[in-house]
Each structure stands twice: as C-alpha cells, then as structure tokens.
Amino acid sequence: MAASTSGSSGQGTVAFEEGQLERPRWTGETPLSLLVGALISFKPLYSVMKFGARQVLISTAEKTNIPWREMTRKILESDVYKEMESIEDTSLVYPDYYLNPFHAYDEGNLSWLAAAEAEAATMSMVRRAIPYASSLDEANQIVRGNWLKAIEEHHQKYSQDIVIRDILDIGCSVGVSTRFLADKFPAAKLTGLDLSPYFLAVAQFKEKQSNPRTNPIRWIHANGESTGLPSKSYDIVSIAYVFHECPARAIKNLVNEAFRLLRPGGTFALTDNSPKSKILQELSPVLFTLMKSTEPFLDEYYLTDIEKVMTEAGFIKVTTILTDPRHRTVTATVPY
Ligand SMILES: C[S@@+](CC[C@H](N)C(=O)[O-])C[C@H]1O[C@@H](n2cnc3c(N)ncnc32)[C@H](O)[C@@H]1O
C-alpha cells in the first residue's frame, strides 16, 4: 500500500499520494536512468530533445491559458533593460555549474529570453502540479498556499516567540516566490537574492509596476552559497525550486549558508520536487527523458538526502510534508 501524506488544498484537507519507491526509477544509477543519460549525451539527439522540450513547455502552457509568448514579448519590448545597471554585481564570479546550458537555453539563466520566459514557466509548473485545478489561481492556492502554510505552521510551532522581521528568498528568480512571501508576511522585510542579474532585473521591473509596499522588496545579485550577508540576520530563509537545478555540493553549501544567515530559532524552508511523489515516479518515459534533457543536475538532486544535509548543517526539527502531488516542503529550525 502506498503511503500518503496530508496536505491542505485550501478547501479542506486532501491526501497527496506517495509512490512505492524512494525516488523515481529514471534517476540515479538504475539501468533506466543510465539509458536516458546515454541518449541525452548523444549530441544530435540532445539538440532535438532540447527543441522538443521547449515546444512541449510552450504549448502545454498555452493550452492552460498561460499566454507564454505574449508575456515574453511584453517583457522583451519593455524598459526592463534599464534595471540591469542597478542590479548587476559585475565582480560576481559564477559557480561553474551555473554556466551550463540549461532549461533549453544555451546561456542557461544568463539571458534576457530566459528571464522574459521565467514567469510563464513558473505558472506552467504550478498548473502541471495541479492538473485538476480549474484556474491558475486555484493551482497557486494549493502549490504556493500549502508551501506558505507549512512555513507559517513550522515557525509557529517551534519559534512562536520570534517575530518574523526579515525574510530571505534565495534563488528568487523573477520574484514570484518573493512576492508570495511578502504578501503572506507583510510586516517582514523581504530580500530576494539570485545569481541571474537578468532575472533580478525582471523582478525589480515588475515590482516597480505593482502597488507600492510598506516594506519594499530588496533585490540582491549574489551567490546563495556564499552571500556575503551578515550572519544571524534573518528569521526565515526560503529556497524554492532551486535545489533540483544544483549539483550536490551546491545544495550543501546553500543549506550551510542558510544556517549561518538565520537567527537562533529561525526557520529554514525548502520546497522542490519530491522524490516520493507518486506522479513523478510514474512519469511517462517521454516526459522524464525530455525533463532530464534540460535539467543537468536532476540525478544529483534526487540522490541527495536533503534532511540529512540539513541535520548535518545543525538544523533541528527537520520536517517534510508533501505539500502538493509533486512537491515537498522541508522546514527546519536553528537551535536557540
Ligand atoms: C526555478 S528558479 C526559482 C523559482 C522561484 N524561487 C519561485 O519559486 O518562483 C531557480 C533559481 O535559482 C537560481 N539559482 C541557482 N543557483 C543559485 C545560487 N547558487 N545562488 C542564487 N541563486 C541560484 C537561478 O538563477 C534561478 O533563478
């Protein structure tokens, strides 16, 4: 019998089903995973798959009423480029894993096209996670709502005497997760941090076009593995949908850096693909091959025991919840 984990859909409690395995068969050192790896490493085939993956992404998004090409065009034709100067740290040295082709973009996350498409891609990810939702809002209520609820409940349970004053969103991309955090915790000061100055430029541009906030969001171009920010300066550090894009050594560094940045009693929250998700374990061969062709570190992510990495970094109360059918949220506390 497959185990199941409870999560709230925002309209009552539903169970998100776990599969029978520890992780999908198409990851790690299994014959299936090695076969997919060999196919992807064959360059001509890789180019076709990369192209296919991109077409699938765009057409599935548009089928669910996400105007991918229209959103992209609007950003590319805007004044977003002017934000770059105030955002980019030109002395930043990128970690080598970040310079790989990625998500079917030759320059990875370091391009205007990737930045202009990132919000539509995020919406699409949320829609894919909840195919039975009738709208993006409904899907967000589950995916983002349950993630935020897991953070809030963990903090209330283990750090109720700590007022949430400062929140850091590492790997904030174009600011979608940062804005969700800012809306959920309006009294807190939010910082969004990312390695891509293009993504941050879009984040800053979009935020400038929105209603002003009492606490404006600050955007920082830095490596989350070694931010240069002062120790013990945040009450919550969140890392959403970043780890599956990182090699194991970066995941470890990011967790250690989060520990350093949090105040005693502070809460760390990671959300990303769950290796135990029944849906991910049963993904069709075509889909998982396409996915692996654009996500070079997926295997390393699935093979990393995140809870162990967190415990080794010094975190306590490490708690994992399947917050939607595809994603887990792992929360943890820095001891007092
Ligand atoms: C899928 S996006 C995150 C999405 C966003 N957090 C959300 O929930 O909508 C992953 C992001 O991680 C960033 N990233 C990857 N490695 C990083 C690192 N070492 N430091 C900071 N950002 C990193 C990438 O630039 C990218 O913007």
Residues near 257 by beta carbon (within 8 Å), at least 6 away in sequence = 170, 224, 225, 226, 227
Closest ligand 1 atom number to CA of residue 95: 19
Q: Is the pLDDT of residue 286 over 50?
A: yes
* Sequence spans of domains, the chain: 4-333
Of 89, 113, 173, the one to substitute when testing ligand 1's pocket (max ligand atoms within 8 A of C-beta) is 173
Closest ligand 1 atom number to CA of residue 239: 6
**pLDDT at res. 53:** 75
**pLDDT at res. 14:** 59
Provide the pLDDT confidence category of residue 28 given band limits of 50, 70 and 90: confident
Which amino acid is it at 249? R
Output the CA 242–ligand 1 centroid distance in Å.
5
**pLDDT at res. 81:** 98
**pLDDT at res. 38:** 75
Average pLDDT over residues 193-222: 97
For 224-241, the DSSP string reads TTS--PPTT-EEEEEEES
Q: What percent of the chain has pLDDT over 90?
A: 76
Closest ligand 1 atom number to CA of residue 225: 19
More confident residue, 302 or 4: 302
Provide the pLDDT confidence category of residue 1 given band limits of 50, 70 and 90: very low
d(CA 200, CA 190): 14
Nearest to 237 by CA among 209, 260, 212, 208: 260
Average pLDDT over residues 154-183: 96
Output the CA 196–ligand 1 centroid distance in Å.
8
- Contact between 143 and 126 under an 8 Å Cβ cutoff? The reply is yes
**pLDDT at res. 5:** 46
DSSP state of 277: B
Environment class of 212 (CB within 10 Å of its CB; exposed 0-12, middle 13-18, buried 19+): exposed
Closest CA to ligand 1's atom 7: 177
Output the CA 238–ligand 1 centroid distance in Å.
11
Provide the pLDDT confidence category of residue 292 given band limits of 50, 70 and 90: confident
Parallel, antiparallel or unpaired: strands 189-194 and 218-221: parallel
Provide the pLDDT confidence category of residue 85 given band limits of 50, 70 and 90: very high
Average pLDDT over residues 179-187: 98
Closest ligand 1 atom number to CA of residue 250: 19
pLDDT in tens, 103-131: 778 888 999 999 999 999 999 999 999 99
More confident residue, 129 or 13: 129
Nearest to 160 by CA among 239, 237, 268, 235: 235
Output the CA 160–ligand 1 centroid distance in Å.
29
pLDDT in tens, 246-256: 999 999 999 99
**pLDDT at res. 101:** 77
Q: Is the pLDDT of residue 12 over 60?
A: no
Q: Is the pLDDT of residue 188 over 80?
A: yes
Output the CA 103–ligand 1 centroid distance in Å.
12
Instruction: Pick 4-333's CATH classification: 3.40.50.150, 3.10.290.20, 3.40.50.2300, 3.30.465.10.
Output: 3.40.50.150
Output the CA 109–ligand 1 centroid distance in Å.
9
Residues with CB under 6 A from ligand 1: 98, 109, 122, 170-173, 176-177, 193-196, 199, 223-225, 240-242, 245-246, 250
Output the CA 117–ligand 1 centroid distance in Å.
14
**pLDDT at res. 44:** 72
**pLDDT at res. 10:** 39
**pLDDT at res. 329:** 98
Closest ligand 1 atom number to CA of residue 97: 16
Closest CA to ligand 1's atom 11: 171
Of 184, 242, 271, 297, the one to substitute when testing ligand 1's pocket (max ligand atoms within 8 A of C-beta) is 242
Closest ligand 1 atom number to CA of residue 176: 9
Which amino acid is it at 100? N
Output the CA 3–ligand 1 centroid distance in Å.
30
**pLDDT at res. 287:** 79
**pLDDT at res. 104:** 75
Mean pLDDT (the chain) is 91
Output the CA 89–ligand 1 centroid distance in Å.
16
**pLDDT at res. 36:** 74
Tokens of 64: 């669910």
